[in-house]
A = this chain, B = another copy of it.
């Protein structure tokens, strides 16, 4: 049997909620999947076709204008079985791609300006995403949830997303403050401040808001 990837199950899970067209799937993914499993639009178009080919979804045509039809995907019994089986298997460990941290890691190859501007740029991205998330949750509280019967789940995801974005924003503010105190970017090494920070890390003491 051909292997399904985690992305396959991400789509299959959406199809288990209701039937969607590929276009709707890409939009729904932007509002939900994206926070835990970000995938490109082109792949979100391709994946349901694969599910059909493997028998985990089927497709029907619906009118979508005077000329156009749209393909609507729905889960099959085999798809539901596969999804349940996956939900009982072992998950992969979380992975973060954080380019600002990577660039900070090479701070000693450039000047303070470049590092600070990377942090500032990332922070404004993060603020935008924070605001987007807040708008979603406010809509839910205002009675405009697309799947109100799933809100007990969405709430737990929302808590995580808010706290993650907060952490990244606060860390980038913290890093900015620290770097502003540096006399230069390279060769500082184990300063007293660095030793304090590392000691606090191993002592499991709070740092960022301290």
Copy tally for this chain in the complex stands at 2
Encode contact with B along A65-100: 1 for CB under 8 Å, 0 otherwise.
000000000000000100110011011111111111
**In the complex, A165→B171 CA distance in Å?**
13
Encode contact with B along A104-118: 1 for CB under 8 Å, 0 otherwise.
111111100011011
Q: Which of A192-210 contact B (CB under 8 A)?
A: 193-195, 197-199, 201-202, 204, 207-208
Asked if A150 and B108 make an inter-chain contact with CB atoms under 8 angstroms apart, the answer reads yes
Whether A6 sits at the interface, judged by CB under 8 Å, is: yes
**In the complex, A186→B84 CA distance in Å?**
14
Say how far A39's CB is from chain B's closest CB, in angstroms.
Answer: 10
Whether A27 sits at the interface, judged by CB under 8 Å, is: no
Say how far A169's CB is from chain B's closest CB, in angstroms.
Answer: 11
Question: How many residues from A make CB contacts under 8 Å with B?
Answer: 92
A94-B152 contact, Cβ under 8 Å, with A157-B105, A198-B140:
no
Say how far A202's CB is from chain B's closest CB, in angstroms.
Answer: 5
Asked if B208 and A163 make an inter-chain contact with CB atoms under 8 angstroms apart, the answer reads yes
Residues in B neighbouring A23, C-beta threshold 8 A: none
Asked if A171 and B175 make an inter-chain contact with CB atoms under 8 angstroms apart, the answer reads no
Asked if B103 and A94 make an inter-chain contact with CB atoms under 8 angstroms apart, the answer reads no
Asked if B197 and A155 make an inter-chain contact with CB atoms under 8 angstroms apart, the answer reads yes
Chain B residue nearest to A152 in the complex (CB): B188
